[in-house]
Amino acid sequence: TQLLEQSPQFLSIQEGENLTVYCNSSSVFSSLQWYRQEPGEGPVLLVTVVTGGEVKKLKRLTFQFGDARKDSSLHITAAQTGDTGLYLCAGPHAGGTSYGKLTFGQGTILTVHP
């Protein structure tokens, strides 16, 4: 069973601070996806990292895929109140009879205070 563990589960910071969210597994993933989910809504895809060591930037958000493709991180620079939300990492099961079903981490609830 492929599991994804996110840390921390809760993060409460002041506007302007930096933060990092981690997504770890003992299994190798062909890619990892990061989603953001607002209360009562569906996950919205932020980014997909595919290559070991890959770094992708989305404005103030920086995503990194570990060299061994077992972990990923999300770093937010100078957080804003609009960054408040639930951040999820997810990885696909690949190979064999799998058709890419996603395993999700438990999520990190980020609260940015003004």
Partner 1 sequence: EPEVTQTPSHQVTQMGQEVILRCVPISNHLYFYWYRQILGQKVEFLVSFYNNEISEKSEIFDDQFSVERPDGSNFTLKIRSTKLEDSAMYFCASRFSVAKSSYEQYFGPGTRLTVT
Q: Taking a C-beta distance cutoff of 8 angstroms, is the pair 90, 33 a contact?
A: yes
Nearer to partner 1, 13 or 102 (CB): 102
Q: CA 111 → CA 11, 14, 15, 96, 97, distances in Å?
A: 6, 8, 9, 40, 39
Residue 68 has a CB neighbour count (10 Å cut-off) of 11
Site string (16-45) toward partner 1, x via CB under 8 A: --------------xx-x-x----xxxxxx
Residue with Cβ nearer partner 1 (21 or 79): 21
Judged by the rule CB under 8 A, the positions of this chain that interact with partner 1 are 30-31, 33, 35, 40-45, 48, 50, 88, 90, 92, 94-95, 97-107
